[in-house]
Structure 1
Amino acid sequence: MSLSRRALLGSALALPFLRVAGAQEAATPILFVHGNGDHAALWMTTLWRFESNNWPRERMAAISLPDPLARADDAVAQPGRSSSAEQTERLAAAVAELRAKTGAARVALVGNSRGGYPIRDFVSQPAGAAQVSHVITCGTPNRGVYDWEFNPGNEFNARAPFLRRLNGGTTDVVASTSFLTIRSDNDLYAQPDGRYIGRPGTPTGITQDGPALRGATNVLLTGLDHRETAYHWRSFREQFRHIAGREPHTMGVIPEERPRIGGIVTGLSDGAPTNRPVAGARVEVWTLDWQGQRESEALLDVTTGGDGAWGGAILPAWRYVPVEIVLSVPGHPIAHFFRSHFPRSSAVVNLRPPAAPTETERAAGCLVRLTRPRGYFSWPRDVVLIDDQEVAEKREGIASIAAARRNLPAARAGSPVYALYNEEKLVGRAVPLAENRIAVMELSW
């Protein structure tokens, strides 16, 4: 790169920081909490947007709760799943850790979906509220996903003890903490009909106003789906304004010169996701050309220890290059994750092995899965293509699908595969299912 271009790029990167000089010391620490079955990686793009607006990386944290799935009955122990009380205890520990790290008396808490429950539970206690300056719940089913006699002990039932306690007062907020909720009219967990939770035709007793809280600032962002209420740039704007008290300077992500990526390898328990670390997993990182071919030697090839951590891959400077991350976990299919370029560093590129092929998928010579962790697909809002063809899972109405697949013949092994989601394009490579390999094309946006 020429000196003049580097100087120009450097000036562009510095501009937002110059506008808010001195703000780093005053930035409120923020703790991000994922939803049911999810993990910290979903906050990656949100962290990038805050960083691009001069929020110091060291004053933010995204946690992965060990057992992210709720129990069928909140009061009955279930292997690999967590109770509402356990989630609140773990959140309290994470708040204490962030306060100790930053020296701040109070922090801001931002939660998506189920992640809003332990936040509300924590601040409903005087000792918790004293440690929290701001609360933001994004798509959290604050009135439940349903209000009915089925599953009476389930955490998401408005009639269950947990939500009855949280919602039993005359207000849903506490005076010393500033509350914001972000919701949508396209949220599959805020619907009057039980279609999206396995009981079509059964009224849920819930409406799109279910995520709102009495006494909070309640914002409706039309068209966004359940996860986008947390991870979309429109949601980021509301989060930033609520915590900072001003507009962000950019909604986008300002690139770094040499992004470094890493994260944790976690596993599956009886097919269900966990966030507990996996030892003995091999992680390889490669850059690709636009035909899906590896460019050179691997940037990283490591095996995880007891903490499941992997990291240290430094991506090329100032180049928009596709990335392939190969995850090999004993007892699971080998995953070839194909990703678009990482514009900034991230320590939450967490990896899980893919689920075993279904009966339908086993017929493929090469299996390609397209996933969107930070949102769902919605038609006709979105364009979703694999190999220049619309995906078979296309379904109009409320956004409710986050994954699609394409079965390819064995003869395609080694050939490029392209996927498109609106303006984000991925390139990957078909891999042979006979070798227990699956291509996972994972969208970032």
Structure 2
Amino acid sequence: MKTTRRQFVAATAALSAAALLRPLSTAFAQAAAPPPIVFCHGNGDHAALWMTTLWRFAQNGWPKDRLVAFNFTDPLARSDDAVPMPGRSGTEDQLRELTAVVRTTLARTGSDRLALVGSSRGGNAIRNFIVLADGASQVSHAALCGTPNRGVFHWPQAPGSEFNGAGPFLTRLNARDTDVVPGTAFLTLYSEGNDKFAQADARLIGRPGVPTGITTEGPTLRGATNIGLGPLDHREVAFHPRAFRELYRFIGGREPALIGVQPDSEVVLDGLVTGNPRGVPSNRPVGNAEVEVWRIDPGTAARRGEPLARKTTGPDGRWGPVTASYEDCLEFVVAVEGHPVTHTFRSPFPRSSDVVHLRPAPPVAEAERQAGAIVRMTRPRGYFGIPRDVVVLDGREPSDVTRGVPTDAATSVRLPAGEVGRPVIGLFNEERVIARAVPLAENRIAIAELTW
């Protein structure tokens, strides 16, 4: 029987990975099982951002059932931590949800302790659990990535903000002579100048020329291992390959055997549809969402064959599972009442994942409604840094991306009605994603979502 290129590449990758991981698997078998790891996402985000990190841990021998990325229900922080706001959460809400996940993870795995890894605001919940809620006995390792441990600002204004270094929440966390707790190892990963939430000037949070009272070292902790990751941005210090290496070394106690993600011969994808028609990011599952998944041409984004899946979600919001190849470019179509029909175009998924969460786009702004089509390119696991990065959408560098410190995770192109249906190519450094312009007149919008 003739071996196809796809079969050859998959087999070669599998053999190479197996050879590299054999010593690691033996080490894990001889030692105690590695601790479960719970990953906490940041403000307004969801568990899907940890997808590439989960792939890297799993392919380096970490048992998949010991890797937990969960959704905070209402991920966006309140303006005042003590004042309830519809669709938003306070620090006590996040503490309650993290405590429940820790409890269930320890019970399910039979472990005495676990590791916690947080991106940005997720680190606030981790510190709250360990320092203020006496959770240290359950946590062997705590890794905080870009967490604003001294605040995003230190002002008398907005005194109740969770992100105010002078506010009650961070004042309580930072009141002791050390920021760590005996028995729990602490790591911080931070940007050396490119974190938009660790800047001396408040320009990037809307108050140019006003001192924030915060420095580049704002995410560090007294008594922790603090590692600067050069020019990585606020999100990259959690999700970049460089961040993974430090997380693996910190929790696993050794260098990872693999950094680049190796493909699986068969890829199974699943996740939730979440959303809120009021425009507030939400991780509440959406029932009665219409979901289609299509295999598309990698050069034109034209659909190939019949849909891989067509489903109406139940109350749990789950849209899968769907089986694909590691070479398949995919289009996800999500229709939810109160949102535009969202066509999300993705470059191939090299490995399986059950956190491919789908959020429909928010309603289109009035100023954009005259366009024939809108295509947005988004980067959930980092920001666009110009001139740091190559950023090209539809053949030109975007004008709506702030230059200098990486600040923006989305850029858009508007097309006239006569160009509806044509392919639109997005480039970010070495990643290429291709979308097709869909008619805004039908309340449809296209998203070219980057993976890396």
Give the structure-2-normalised TM-score: 0.96
| Corresponding position of 2:246 | 238
Question: Which residue matches 2:3?
Answer: 2
Partner residue of 1:15?
19
1:269 shift after superposition: 5.1
Aligned with 1:86 (options 89, 93, 115): 93
* 1:294 corresponds to: 303
Give the SS at the match of 2:414. Answer: strand
What SS does the corresponding residue of 1:299 show, helix, strand or coil?
strand
Q: Residues 307-346 of structure 1 correspond to what in structure 2 (within 5 A)? A: 307-316=316-325, 319-346=326-353
2:440 alignment counterpart: 433
Determine the C-alpha separation between the residues in 2 that align with 1:353 and 1:345.
Answer: 22
List gaps (5 residues or longer) in structure 1.
none
**Residue of 247, 250, 255 corresponding to 1:247:** 255
Residue aligning to 2:423: 416
Q: What is the SS of the residue equivalent to 1:310? A: coil
Q: 1:149 to 1:120 in 2, by over 3 A?
A: same
Paired letter, 1:55:
W
Distance in 2 between residues matched to 1:174 and 1:323, nearest whole Å: 46
Residue 323 of structure 2 aligns to which amino acid in structure 1?
I
User: Deviation of residue 198 (structure 1)?
Assistant: 1.4
- Pair 1:46 & 2:46 matched: no
Matching residue within 76, 79, 82 for 1:75: 82
Q: Counterparts of 1:273 and 1:97 in 2: how far apart (Å)? A: 26
Q: How does 1:91-130 map to 2 (within 5 A)?
A: 91-125=98-132, 127-130=134-137
Q: Output aligned runs, 1:340-359, within 5 Å.
A: 340-359=347-366
Contact 1:20 1:54 in 2 (8 A): yes
Whole-angstrom CA distance in 2 between matches of 1:15 and 1:413: 48
Alpha carbon RMSD of aligned pairs, Å? 1.4
- Write the distance in 2 (CA, Å) between the matches of 1:93 and 1:172: 24
Identity of aligned residues (%): 53
Cα distance, 1:21 vs. partner? Answer: 2.2
AA matched with 1:165: R
Report the 3-state secondary structure (helix = DSSP H, G, I; strand = E; otherwise coil) of the residue aligned with 2:97.
Answer: helix
Q: Quick check: 1:227 aligned with 2:235?
A: yes
Equivalent positions of 1:53-68 (< 5 A) are 53-68=60-75
Question: 1:127: Cα distance to partner?
Answer: 4.3
Structure 1 residues 217-270: Cα deviation after superposition (integer angstroms, max 9, x where no partner): 000011100000100000001000000011001111111111111101111252
Q: 1:380 pairs with 369, 387, 403, which one?
A: 387
- Look up the equivalent residue of 1:251 and give its one-letter code: I
The one-character-per-residue Cα deviations of 1:35-77 (angstroms, maximum 9, x if unpaired) are 0000000001111111111111111010100010111111111
Tell me what 2:186 maps to: 179
Could you list the structure 1 runs, at least 4 aligned residues long, displaced by more than 4 angstroms after superposition: none
Task: Pick from 175, 182, 189 the counterpart of residue 197 of structure 2.
Answer: 189
Deviates more, 1:419-428 or 1:393-402: 393-402
1:124 match: secondary structure: helix
Q: Cα distance, 1:388 vs. partner?
A: 1.2
User: How far apart, CA to CA, are the structure 2 residues paired with 1:18 and 1:215?
Assistant: 36
Is the CA contact 1:16–1:54 (under 8 Å) kept in the aligned structure 2? Answer: no
The separation in 1 between residues aligned to 2:284 and 2:214, in whole angstroms, is 33
Letter in 2 for 1:35: G
Deviation at 1:101, TM superposition (A): 1.5
Partner of 1:371: 378
Distance in 1, matches of 2:87 and 2:367, equals: 27
SS for the counterpart of 1:298 is: strand
C-alpha displacement at 1:315, in angstroms? 0.5
Give the C-alpha shift of residue 13 in structure 1: 3.2
Larger mean CA deviation between 287-296 and 125-134 belongs to 125-134
Residue aligning to 1:444 = 451
Q: Give the secondary-structure state (helix, strand or coil) at the position aligned to 2:305.
A: coil
Distance 1:170 1:269, change over 3 A: farther
Unaligned runs of 5+ in 2: none
Give the one of 194, 207, 211 matched to 1:203.
211
- What's the offset of the Cα at 1:17? 2.8
> Deviation of residue 159 (structure 1)?
1.2
Q: Matches of 2:304 and 2:278 in 1, distance apart? A: 37
C-alpha distance in structure 2 between counterparts of 1:413 and 1:312, whole Å: 31
| Larger mean Cα displacement after TM superposition, 211-220 or 385-394 | 385-394
Q: Distance in 2 between matches of 1:381 and 1:81?
A: 34
Q: Retained in 2: the 8 A contact 1:16–1:52?
A: no
The Cα of 1:410 is off from its aligned counterpart by 1.3
AA matched with 1:179 = F
Query: After alignment, is 115-124 or 9-18 more displaced?
Result: 9-18
Maintained 8 Å contact 1:34/1:112: yes
Q: 3-state DSSP class of the match of 2:232?
A: coil
Task: Give the equivalent residue in structure 2 for 1:275.
Answer: 283
Partner in structure 2 of residue 265 of structure 1: 273
**1:295 Cα shift?**
1.1
User: CA-to-partner distance for each residue in 1:331-376, whole Å, 9 max, x for gaps?
Assistant: 2100000000000001101111101112332121011011101000
Corresponding residue for residue 152 of structure 2: 145
Deviation per residue, 1:85-107 (Å, 9 max, x gap): 11011101001111112111100
Is 425-434 or 17-26 further displaced after alignment?
A: 17-26
Do the aligned partners of 1:367 and 1:433 also contact (CA within 8 Å) in 2? yes
Shift of 1:312: 1.2
CA 431–269 in structure 1, closer or farther in 2 if over 3 Å, else same: closer
Which of 303, 313, 319 aligns to 2:312? It is 303
Matches of 2:60 and 2:203, distance apart in 1:
40
Equivalent AA in structure 2 for residue 234 of structure 1: R
Residue by residue, what CA displacement relative to the aligned partner does 1:89-136 show, whole Å, maximum 9, x if unpaired?
A: 110100111111211110000000000011001111574111100000
Q: How many residues align?
A: 443
Match of 1:132 in 2: 139
CA distance in 2, matches of 1:125, 1:73: 19
**3-state DSSP of counterpart to 1:273:** coil
